[in-house]
Amino acid sequence: MKKVLILYASSTGNTEEIASLLEQHLDTKVLDITSKNLEMTEVDVKELKEYDGILFGTYTYDDGDLPFETDVFNDNLQNVDLNGKVIGLFGSGDTAYFQFCEAVDTMKNEFKCRGSIVIDHVVKVDLFPDEKEELDAIKELGFLFQKALSAHAIQSSS
Ligand SMILES: Cc1cc2nc3c(=O)[nH]c(=O)nc-3n(C[C@H](O)[C@H](O)[C@H](O)COP(=O)(O)O)c2cc1C
């Protein structure tokens, strides 16, 4: 079984809903999934090394910034080597803001700098995930994430 962490920051529940939908698209027969809300739990970044893949979600705050809990997490991330981990990114924002879901792009770059295998397809949802394109994009991320995890398993064992 591959170990997967779904880790997210969500203040009003929109990003949490994306996390929950993503989880439904993952195959629990082959994946051991843990889900954590950064608002509720302190995450020791060293713990991330236990996982084969991480789906990371965040909402965006104040003109494209990382919200507080994502910012703290990101500061702690700076000294961690996540080489070879498969990472998928998602988040909710509001299209009324010029920097729509910019925190998702910021975290994508941060994970790339940690040596992770970052899936190019990111999910950006306008508030609550209810539009067909958004639901399709969430499903696609689940599919690509799982595919990358199994491709990496083949590479690692060969
Ligand atoms: C003060 C404030 C600033 C915000 N700034 C942005 C922003 O710059 N870009 C964006 O896309 N959304 C912005 N938002 C919208 C939130 O990201 C959006 O409401 C999101 O759905 C919250 O996700 P959550 O329910 O997971 O907490 C802002 C919201 C607030 C209250």
Torsion of CA 30, 118, 68, 77, to 10 degrees: 90
| Whole-number pLDDT of residue 54 | 98
Round the average pLDDT of the chain to a whole number and report it: 94
Q: Is 35 in the pocket of ligand 1 (CB under 6 A)?
A: no
Quickly list DSSP for 6-17: EEEE-SSSHHHH
Q: Model confidence over 128-155: pLDDT tens digits?
A: 999 999 999 999 999 999 999 998 765 5
pLDDT at 39 over 90: no
Q: Is 74 in the pocket of ligand 1 (CB under 6 A)?
A: no
Which residue out of 20, 60, 122 has the highest number of ligand 1 atoms within 8 Å of its CB and is therefore the one to mutate?
60
| Whole-number pLDDT of residue 42 | 80
Look at the block and give the residue holding tokens 């995890």: 149
Domain count, the chain: 1
Structure tokens at 46: 């060293």
Percentage, residues of the chain above pLDDT 70: 96
Atom 21 of ligand 1 has which residue's CA nearest to it?
127
| C-beta neighbour count of 124 within 10 angstroms | 20
Q: Is 88 in the pocket of ligand 1 (CB under 6 A)?
A: no
Q: Model confidence over 77-108: pLDDT tens digits?
A: 998 999 999 999 999 999 999 999 999 999 99
Query: Regarding beta strands 53-58 and 86-93, do their DSSP bridges make them parallel or antiparallel, or are they unpaired?
Result: parallel
Domain that holds residue 60: 2-157
Q: Is 68 in the pocket of ligand 1 (CB under 6 A)?
A: no
Cα 77 to the chain's mean position, in Å?
Answer: 14
- For residue 120, the 8-state DSSP code is S
- As a whole number of angstroms, the distance between CA 73 and CA 76 comes to 5
pLDDT at 27 over 90: yes
Structure tokens at 6: 């779904």
> Contact 33/26 with Cβ under 8 angstroms?
yes
- As a whole number of angstroms, the distance between CA 137 and CA 22 comes to 10
Structure tokens at 83: 């080489």
- For residue 47, the 8-state DSSP code is G
Q: Is 20 in the pocket of ligand 1 (CB under 6 A)?
A: no
**Domain holding 145: CATH number?**
3.40.50.360
| Whole-number pLDDT of residue 128 | 98
CA 42 / ligand 1 centre spacing (Å): 22
> Contact 112/118 with Cβ under 8 angstroms?
yes
Average pLDDT over residues 32-43: 92
Q: Is 128 in the pocket of ligand 1 (CB under 6 A)?
A: no
